[in-house]
Structure 1
């Protein structure tokens, strides 16, 4: 017997052979591990759902549900709060251990097991588990900190925005032209910062699973006209034309979604098109899904498509692959925080939709959003 010091950890041993279970249980309990057992795959999954453990020792060949299927379900279907390593136990004549590893198992050991090898592999996988738990905890603390920070930052920014508005309205006295100009610049900068903080807060709400969507019927035609009207003042100083091109056959244009989040989505996409376009136009197209092949699917009639096209400088091919990743800024001189398109993607995914971008340098960009009509 290996003369290791006692270890801690809850281990689930899954094997249909009582002799194998007894042997492994005896070896591991002598090392100080807490052992639970299951005689088949169904029992193992039920135990994991009720009380997750630190490691699963899983026999590959079992009647009813083999180790391959148990591994697939643990990795693919079960929503476990933390990662649980899987050590496969296989006979020497089992030909396809690689299949189990491809399904998500972390390591394997062959029967008959030796004490030293079993303990070494268990210690190795528990170290992996400990490292991943520490990483997840650090990430959770970081996200919680950023979420709290952005939430706290909103209060002074909102207060500053209101005070600057009062100055601009002359409520606190007449301002000289120079002061008026300075207040306008300060107000614009404060608004940009507040917008960034709001975006960051929304991103972390999505990532922390704290975002609750209120699904209801939403008329996309009306919503897009509303957003276009709100953003027209941004396009007018540049002389940009905002074109609304709604397919008459796109009937109904009503989908099931969260109106506030969809408003945020299209405000961001259309606002980006206006921001990055210096001349020409921004076109908003609402299309009947049967007329578009942008998102091939067996149920294309269940989707409706919105296209936002601009005549801006276009996006380099090297940047198009990372457009929707968090904190990925473009090379354009007025690129923002790199969160807007990431948040847009999260909103679309929450609605079970898709987004792609087609762009060519010097010829503008088209962002294509596909949303299901019903959730």
Structure 2
């Protein structure tokens, strides 16, 4: 059986405590009591009540200060606060601004009190249910993607051995088939790794290994690795990278992922013309811009561009996670990412990282 909801009443007047406790206990609630703010905060920490009924005017620490302290504890689950006040509207407004969820005036009427208590408890339970579903979903996807990596990595190694002839000679048709299988397997492995990283960032469990980074050198490395794609499509890949730039503090592999994604997207969506990459210092930031002469991004798509699984209305293959993950990574580095689009075509993504 589900245990009864635990309510904490905080009031410095014994008669008020007795009245409210009697009303609540008759409804089957478990009741805790405190006669001052300090004791109330200790009980909130140790007993984690489902609801706090809090008198506003108390000697020493009043209800406003208790409310402020409870809301300042970020590690606490959501606990609704019902203010009990004998004063005017201004008093209630101040309490609500500090983080209280509802208020009731003295003298307290039993029916009104119980109605407000039930309403706030429904709110708490709905929030708990939502958070629990979100945690279960994240755990499921995280475990699923983690478990998928094992057979994909094993398949990649086995395909590599076959291609190298470790298990005997293979004919040219079989070699070509293995190359297709290997590329498909790598694409799937990349997608799984990307999805796993997305959930790590969302769960706050992703740890950045920050070191001083030469952004100009890092971007130049990405450009050189992707230049064959530009040559295959007859695109001009132009760079304007400043030298002697101050370093930024960041995770090299994660930033490498960002620039690979942004420059790779520019090359993927540009069929003719050029892609230009620039790196320069702007004030206290290093600005990295990637502009292209592609079709641009329709205005209707721009508000959703950095949301996950948003691929737009193009016909290119992708997971819809690249820009979403890039935004997470840049933000985790204390930076920002923005988009500017031309009137007719072309787009420019800019990343700003603090020096």
- Using the size of structure 2 for normalisation, the TM-score is 0.88
The aligned counterpart of 2:101 is: 106
- Where 1:306 maps in the other structure, the secondary structure is strand
The aligned counterpart of 2:264 is: 271
Q: Which moved more, 1:10-19 or 1:196-205?
A: 10-19
Distance 1:154 1:262 in 2: 22
Distance 1:338 1:169 in 2: 34
- Where 1:105 maps in the other structure, the secondary structure is coil
Q: Is the 8 A contact 1:310 1:365 kept in 2?
A: yes
* TM-superposed deviation, 1:231: 2.2
The aligned counterpart of 1:251 is: 245
Residues 1:285 and 1:107: Cα distance change in structure 2 (over 3 Å): same
Distance 1:185 1:95 in 2: 71
Unaligned runs of 5+ in 1: 1-5, 291-300
| 1:279-300 residue CA offsets vs partner (Å, 9 max, x unmatched) | 222222212122xxxxxxxxxx
Q: Which moved more, 1:46-55 or 1:226-235?
A: 46-55
Out of 116, 133, 137, the position equivalent to 1:121 is 116
The aligned counterpart of 1:320 is: 302
The aligned counterpart of 1:224 is: 219
Out of 16, 19, 26, the position equivalent to 1:23 is 19
Residues 1:158 and 1:60: Cα distance change in structure 2 (over 3 Å): same
Distance 2:86 2:281 in 1: 57
* TM-superposed deviation, 1:176: 4.6
Distance 2:60 2:242 in 1: 54
Count the aligned residue pairs.
Answer: 354
For the pair 1:8 / 2:26, whether they are aligned, the reply is no
For the pair 1:135 / 2:130, whether they are aligned, the reply is yes
Distance 2:320 2:196 in 1: 14
Distance 2:315 2:11 in 1: 61
* TM-superposed deviation, 1:93: 2.2
Q: Is the 8 A contact 1:345 1:355 kept in 2?
A: yes
- Where 2:319 maps in the other structure, the secondary structure is coil
The aligned counterpart of 1:199 is: 194
Unaligned runs of 5+ in 2: none
* TM-superposed deviation, 1:310: 1.8
Q: Is the 8 A contact 2:214 2:245 kept in 1?
A: no
Distance 1:279 1:41 in 2: 69
Q: Is the 8 A contact 2:214 2:248 kept in 1?
A: yes
Q: Which moved more, 1:219-228 or 1:235-244?
A: 235-244
The aligned counterpart of 2:278 is: 285
Residues 1:138 and 1:181: Cα distance change in structure 2 (over 3 Å): same
Residues 1:191 and 1:256: Cα distance change in structure 2 (over 3 Å): same
* TM-superposed deviation, 1:15: 4.0
The aligned counterpart of 1:297 is: none
Residues 1:348 and 1:66: Cα distance change in structure 2 (over 3 Å): farther
The aligned counterpart of 1:33 is: 29
Q: Which moved more, 1:196-205 or 1:163-172?
A: 163-172
For the pair 1:186 / 2:181, whether they are aligned, the reply is yes
For the pair 1:235 / 2:217, whether they are aligned, the reply is no
Distance 1:64 1:361 in 2: 63
Give the RMSD, CA atoms, in angstroms. 2.8
* TM-superposed deviation, 1:306: 1.5
Q: Which moved more, 1:335-344 or 1:24-33?
A: 24-33
Q: Is the 8 A contact 1:311 1:363 kept in 2?
A: yes
| 1:89-133 residue CA offsets vs partner (Å, 9 max, x unmatched) | 232523363554455433222211112221222122112212221
Residues 1:165 and 1:71: Cα distance change in structure 2 (over 3 Å): same
Distance 2:289 2:187 in 1: 26
Distance 1:227 1:111 in 2: 68
Q: Is the 8 A contact 1:7 1:33 kept in 2?
A: no
- Where 1:317 maps in the other structure, the secondary structure is coil
Distance 2:113 2:249 in 1: 53
Distance 2:245 2:43 in 1: 50
* TM-superposed deviation, 1:241: 2.8
